[in-house]
Structures are given as structure tokens and as C-alpha cells.
Amino acid sequence: MFDLKYNQSLSDYNSWRVGGPAKCLFQPKNIEELKSFLNQLFKSSPDEKIFWIGLGSNLLIRDSGFDGTVIITQGTFNQITVLDNNIVRIEAGVACGTAARFCARLGLTGIEFLAGVPGTIGGALAMNAGAHGGETWQYVSQCESIDRKGNIHLRPLSDYQPHYRHVIRPADEWFTAAYFKLIPGDKAESLEKIKTLLAHRAATQPINLPNCGSVFRNPPNDYAARLIEACHLKGFRIGGAAVSTKHANFIINDQNATALDIENLITHIQQVVKDKFNIALIREVQILG
């Protein structure tokens, strides 16, 4: 009934291009199929581990893979709907850059910064993604989510607690869409802002090589990249993974790295920064497996 893939490598589903297989991989055709799948999965395996992947940025999948079910949202939950009062409903599988440009073309401003976030709206909601002074949850008015049994919930902002790069939310629920309350503004100015953000990103980040985006959160009143660079770690390599010489808070896979290479490099950076500055860098990237 469902198009399921078993023992499917996840290396094609994340931006580092590493990682082992998922026990089961499912890309639903629509929300009704997802509801039915989750309901049947709950009845047959109520404790099954479930993980959702959009564009697979901000994610490190270990070489051993994931002993559970992975649900792919990208390419399925990709609708954007303009509602009254400058509210835009954006589904979880929409790429952040697509959402930013769509709204800018309508003269609805506020989320231009999302053009520089290499993920989907679902991921941006889950981690309160931000860039250039903006954060996702500044503009969210309510969210749609789906639970383990396949039930859809429309939740107010008060059901969530957004923080820097993470959000406290109802357990065992996953985002399917969000409603963004935006600000009417100048279309040309908004599109120009996006163009400038993307040019800055291309100039300062290794976007042409496999990476996950920023690896570490910025500590209070400082920048992870500054600390890493001050430790002379730019270009430092473990196996096929290296600290980018373009931006020190990026790890690139430029020589067929394994997930273990990347994880060991993350740990090494944390240890060196801790030894030199007595600052514990917190991972922004999520590790699966």
C-alpha cells in the first residue's frame, strides 16, 4: 500500500552526503497518506523510532544508520498559501529560500533572512533557524503538526517555547505547516535584500562543497567561528573532513569523509576551544544514529 524503502542509505538525504541506512524510509505523497501511514505504524509498532528529514542540513547521520523509520518531507509538503491579514501558510517541506523569495515577490517582508538558511521550513521551525539578526519564530503565529497516531493539530504560539536554536514543543509531534504573520513592504527592496544576503553567503561560506551549515551555536557575546579560527583550526583535517578555510564554523566533506571523521572533528574542535578559552561550544548540528 505504501511505497517503503528498506535499508536505504541516507547519504543522499543529507547535505554532508554521509551516513548509513535507515531501517525504513517513507516519502508520503500527501498529508492523507502520511496520516494513514502513521496511524498504521502506531497500531503495529507504537514504540517505533521516527525521524523526519527535509533537506538534511544541520544533520549528521552516523555510519551505522538509523534503526527506525525516516520520513522525507521535501518535495511533498511544498504548498504556500496566502491568507488574509498578511498571513502566509507555508508547509514544512518548502525550502527556506523558496519561502523567502515567494513572500518577497508579494511585498510581504520579514523572512528575507531565511533565504540564507539551507533547509526547509520544518527544520527552521524545529531549531528556530536564524541569520542576519532574524529568527524563524519571530514571525510564526500558529503551527500545524501531526502526532504519532496521525492526528493533525493546529496549535497556537503559546504551545511552543522558542529559544536560541531550539524550540520546546509538544512531545511526539512533528511540524507539517506554519502560519507566518508578515509585514507589508517594498517588493523591490525585499528582493534586493535577499540578493545581497545570498551574495554574502556565497562569498563567506563553502556552499559548493558538502556541509551542514553552521556546526556550532554562537556562545553569548561571541562567535563560534572567531573562537575556532583563533585556535588556528581553519583547514584542520581528520580523514576526509576538514574545517573550512572560508568559514571556520563550517566542516566540509571534500575527500569522501565518513560520518565518524566529521564527528571526531567536531569533538576535536570542542576540546581545543575548551582548552584555550574555557568555552564549551554547543553543537547546532543534530546527530542521528
Could you give the dihedral angle defined by the CA atoms of residues 183, 187, 190 and 191, in that order, rounded to the nearest 10 degrees?
150
Active-site residue among 91, 144, 263, 284?
Answer: 284
Alpha carbons 216 and 261: distance in angstroms, whole number: 17
CB atoms within 10 A of CB 221: 5
The residue written with cell numbers 560520518 in the block is 259
Of 133, 134, 139, 142, the closest CA to residue 169 belongs to: 142
Distance, CA of 133 to CA of 113 (rounded, Å): 8
268 - beta bridge partners?
none
Torsion 41-42-46-50 (CA) sign:
positive
For residue 260 the three cell numbers come to: 565518524
Q: Tell me whether residue 192 is one of the annotated catalytic residues.
A: no
Q: Are strands 66-72 and 59-61 parallel, antiparallel or unpaired?
A: unpaired
SS3 52: strand
Name 146's bridge partners. Answer: 152, 174
DSSP labels for 133-160?
TEEGGGSEEEEEEEETTS-EEEEEGGG-
Would you give the DSSP letter of residue 13? G
Annotation says 57 is catalytic: no
Active site residue 189: no
Could you say which of 62, 101, 165, 283 is catalytic?
165
Which candidate in 145, 190, 214, 244 is catalytic? 214
Q: Mind telling me the catalytic residues?
A: 165, 214, 284
